[in-house]
Structure 1
Amino acid sequence: MMLPEQSADALGIDVPALLAIEEGHRRIKPDALDTLADLYRYAGTQALRRLLAQHLDHAGVVRDQEPGHAERLAACVDSATGVRWQSTVFLPGPLQTPAYAQAVGEVPVTRPGAPRQPGGSAVYLVDERVIQRSSDDAALMAEQLERLLSLLDSGTDIRVLPATGSVPQPAGHLVELHLPGGPVWARPGPDRVDYCATLGFAEAITNSLTGTDPGFSSEALSRAAAAHRALAPSPRRAPSLSGNPPPPAGRPVPSSPRRAP
């Protein structure tokens, strides 16, 4: 509930300078970070100070492995005007239900749904073998896939990369964020987020997108959901997805007509 003029006055700068900091065009100093964190009642100041003090390593990476790294990435995703998120091992973080995130060993982030900024764009690419993954809890996977179908019906752009595709995919998560200060690439993991500055990731995502088809994506999600529903035991068992490797490429999945929206 503060005016920009009040925050700028607390920092001893003018409003344009404050906006430049907020938009990533001006680097914030540690003492200014402390002032803003106090004004905005943010508790993770020490983690941000340590992250601010880091420099790019030899691979052009800054690593955030402080507590709250998943929440900080989620804030970046929500602030981006464009998001391209590719996953080849687990489902993209913004699409995960809390139960799925817990089962695969990732940090669940409470959110109303996949981000779709006004005037912005978001696309999520998923390897087909991820949604075909067999597990000890088919009911959990069926529930997660039903959520993906619901998001797809509501307009979220979810693309499934065919398991037989010829384009090699980088393992894990690959996230491209279009932030006010410019594009940033991230590789989130269970215990950290690596922030990178490389156009190679953008090329990899673009190559993946060229091999997807919205019609195939919808059908692939529907087939996988039907297959897991057919395998779901009753009553539901405890989740355990993280230790099961994806099935071989091209593994057949029982077909099922798309459910009614």
Structure 2
Amino acid sequence: MKFLARTVTGRPLLGDEAGFVDLQSVHPEFDSISDALPHAADETLGDIDDATAERVPAETISFGLPLEQFGKLWGIGLNYEEHAGDLDEDRPTEPASFMKPSTALTGPGGPIRLPPTSQSERVTAEGELGVVLGRTCRDVDEADVDNVVAGYLPVIDMTAEDVLQRNPRFLTRSKSYDSFIVVGPAIVVPEERTDFEDLTVQTIINDEVRAENQIKNMLFSPAELISFHSKIMTLQPGDLISTGTPGAWPIEPGDDVRTAVESIGSVTAPVVR
């Protein structure tokens, strides 16, 4: 696998399991990670061994948001039947999708900032797999989804659950507080068609796994979600679809939240108010 990332100062990087190099040391024509997304989708990112710079170990790098600017932020509710049952919700017959504002987005390390208790006293965190689009597309068949996906990353999503419980029409508000979506440090770019079915997604609070499930138990697979939404609107490079959680858990100031997606990686953020 390869990785697209940025330092906290915004320097674009290309990496693999052995470390990272400046993106321009492989592709001098690229000024940003956004320039690389279409090449990630069509598997032309180049060979890191040909870089004009030496690899730097990941543990020596302070990572920021992997994209300088994400596009549309889609979330998917109730995408695991067990989670729907936990919430006493019926299994949806089509994706229960919603959008989040760009101001809700924060990078690895967060922090997750809870709203004042006068607005919400119960916020939950949810571990999810995120999919990043690499090419502009419309009406994509499920079989062709790999041709438009740049890569994947772990996501922590948040919900002001008591706000939502007052009225289901408050969903957008309950999902839109600043820092209510945390994305991982790198976009993971598979070098061959990836079978996600047996991979596990976990919601972890204070080092304790609070929810986990396999991607094969999603009601709608990542490919189905991309195809479905591409029939509603044009999808563009940098759009993010967070594919739903195996389970949510209440969080409080002082907690440490982590999403772990097998073979993709993890992202961690502390909780503050």
> Considering the TM-score relative to the shorter chain, is it more than 0.5?
no
Q: Which has a greater percent of strand?
A: 2
TM-score range, shorter chain: under 0.3
Structure of greater Rg: 1
What's the TM-score once normalised by structure 1's chain length?
Answer: 0.26
